[in-house]
Amino acid sequence: MKNEFIRKETTIIHKGYSSEHHHDSLSVPLYQTSTYTFSSAEQGERRFAGEESGNIYSRLGNPTVRILEERIAELENGQSALAFGSGMAAVSAVLIHVTKTGDHILCSRGIYGCTFGLLEMMDEKYNISHSFSALSTEQEIEASIRPETVCVYIETPINPTMELVDLELVNKVAKKHGLKVIVDNTFSSPYLQNPLDFGADYVLHSATKYINGHGDVIAGLLIGNDVDDMMNIRMTVQKDVGGIISPFDAWLIIRGLKTLHVRMDRHSENAQQLVSFLQSASVVSEILYPFDPSHPQYEIAKKQMKAGGGLISFNIKGGKKAAQFFMNELQLIKIAVSLGDAETLIQHPATMTHSVIPEVEREKMGVSHSLLRLSVGLEHVEDIMADLKQAFAKVETHFAMTK
Ligand SMILES: *Cc1c(COP(=O)(O)O)cnc(C)c1O
């Protein structure tokens, strides 16, 4: 690439691609191939021996996938990235890479339901244990670290409670103890938050969400700063466990990614307006959106995030019955898990994304039956608001709530 682009908005569109090497095609070509031909047997030998760079087989690398990886590495201010067939493939790859039998993983107070499931499986099958902590002060982090702890695995904002973890603090304490820090940055996207800047060792994404942004791909990404270490993951866990992305999905993500900055700005603007609206809704008992002055962690939000993004969680009065009744009354807003799409989506974590977590654990994470998670889309904000408003009114009437 001739130009050294600096700003994210430009990187998102150009990084890692020169049309002159691809028949002058403006759009990144889709290399839908499983394997690559060698010009001679000797060339094949050299490529397998690592003496000559070049393609071998698409599980080890593909030109379309590589462009996505380069772009994402740059967007996360990292040196190297790997693309996977799902967010969970990225989560499992990095956890397999950093742990061995007997190790302990220290986690943020809440994590994605399937990540929880994976940790339970690692514990049962391989004796790799885990525990949870709010990680809110230096003392609390220190007290949670065990002799066998090897890494700290965090989400911030935490899905679905929107609680933040102070990236600067956690990285500082983890460094002192030689622990790797892994951050699931799905909720913010690389446009709003860059955990590597705070000293994290790995950042991962469910690219299914904001990065692709169009609700038509399942994919994951892992970014790091240590090029040799990342190559090691590529040539061991990724190659041999095999959770790679298809070239077509990588191509779709490259296409979706082009508008990430425009989308994130609008998601954030829409969400900010909806937060104000929800603050005035009498059916809502609590609003969880850290990038708002009313939130207790607003200072941390400002320190590590560029804007709040499109996710708002809130507690509705009347518990599970009211929550489900409310969802059923929505017309424009779709009932669906996943997030970060153009369509506004709503889900009930206790019975959906976080239903695999035992009730006791779930309550400890702050996921009660009155909690709803709204993924604010790109529709006109007043249309989203009108839909919420009419459904709130029906809840009030049906449950005879007084204002
Ligand atoms: C969706 C999600 C995942 C899992 O990603 P998939 O692409 O569905 O495998 C992991 N972490 C968070 C925070 C998510 O929202």
Q: What is the DSSP string of 218-247?
A: --EEEEES-HHHHHHHIIIIIHHH--BPPH
**Sign of the alpha-carbon dihedral angle for 191, 11, 209, 243:** negative
pLDDT in tens, 311-367: 999 999 999 999 999 999 999 999 999 999 999 999 999 999 999 889 998 888 889
Active site residue 112: yes
pLDDT in tens, 228-282: 999 999 999 999 999 999 999 999 999 999 999 999 999 999 999 999 999 999 9
Q: Which residues of 304-338 are buried (b: 16+ CB within 10 A; e: fewer)?
A: bbbbbbbbbbbbbbbeeebbbbbbebbebbbeeee
User: What are the residue ranges spanned by the domains of the chain?
Assistant: 3-30+61-257, 260-401
Cα→Cα distances 19→26, 208, 249, 339, Å? 6, 27, 20, 33
The Cα–Cα gap between 377 and 236 comes to: 38
At 287, the pLDDT band (50, 70, 90 cuts) reads very high
CB-based contact 180:150 (threshold 8 Å): yes
* Distance from residue 206's CA to the centre of ligand 1 (Å): 5
Cα→Cα distances 198→91, 181, 306, 373, Å? 20, 10, 14, 28
pLDDT at res. 321: 97
Compute the chain's Rg from CA coordinates. Answer: 22
* Distance from residue 234's CA to the centre of ligand 1 (Å): 20
- pTM for the model stands at 0.96
| Chain centroid, CA 35 distance in Å | 30
pLDDT at res. 69: 98
pLDDT at res. 54: 95
* Distance from residue 88's CA to the centre of ligand 1 (Å): 6
Q: Which superfamily does CATH assign the domain made up of 260-401 to? A: Aspartate Aminotransferase, domain 1 (3.90.1150.10)
pLDDT at res. 363: 87
Burial (0-12, 13-18, 19+ Cβ within 10 Å), 398: middle
Q: What is the mean pLDDT of the chain?
A: 96
Q: Please report the DSSP string for 307-326 in residue order.
A: S--SEEEEEETTHHHHHHHH
At 400, the pLDDT band (50, 70, 90 cuts) reads confident
pLDDT at res. 357: 85
Atom 9 (ligand 1) nearest CA: 87
Active site residue 403: no
Peptide linkage before 247 cis (omega within 30 of 0): no
pLDDT in tens, 344-357: 999 999 999 999 88
Torsion of CA 108, 110, 114, 120, to 10 degrees: 60
Question: For residue 2, is pLDDT > 60?
Answer: no
Atom 7 (ligand 1) nearest CA: 87
Q: Which amino acid is at 211?
A: I
Instruction: Specify the CATH number for 3-30+61-257; select among 3.40.30.10, 3.40.640.10, 3.30.420.40, 3.40.50.300.
Output: 3.40.640.10
> For residue 91, which atom of ligand 1 is closest to its CA?
10
| Mode of pairing for the β-strands spanning 104-108 and 80-84 | unpaired
pLDDT at res. 66: 97
pLDDT at res. 1: 42
